[in-house]
Amino acid sequence: MEKEIRVLYYKPSDELNILLGEARDSVLQEIADEIYVRLDPQTNEVLGFTVLNFEERTEGEGQIIPIMGYFTLPVESPA
């Protein structure tokens, strides 16, 4: 299933949100220290991720956020 990926950063709370597809109700489940996966409460479908203290996490070397996924580029239809 293809989904639009939106990346939103809120500087006041130092919070990064990665949203997959349209916004809808979700529940958060912590998968690492201050890293959450957003899940559909009915199906457990992954709807996105939230990373707290993002700026602090990305300072210095060797900072990894443990999120993996499969991505493709849209193929343009011939004219």
pLDDT at position 76 over 70: no
pLDDT at 30: 92
Query: What long-range pairs does 9-13 form, CB within 8 A, spacing at least 24?
Result: 9/54, 11/55, 13/52
pLDDT digits (tens, 9 = 90+) for 26-65: 999 998 889 899 999 999 888 999 999 988 877 766 566 6
Look up the pTM and report it: 0.72
- Of 1 and 35, the structure prediction assigns the larger pLDDT to 35
pLDDT at 70: 63
Residue 35, phi then psi, degrees to nearest 5 = -125, 125
- Of 57 and 74, the structure prediction assigns the larger pLDDT to 57
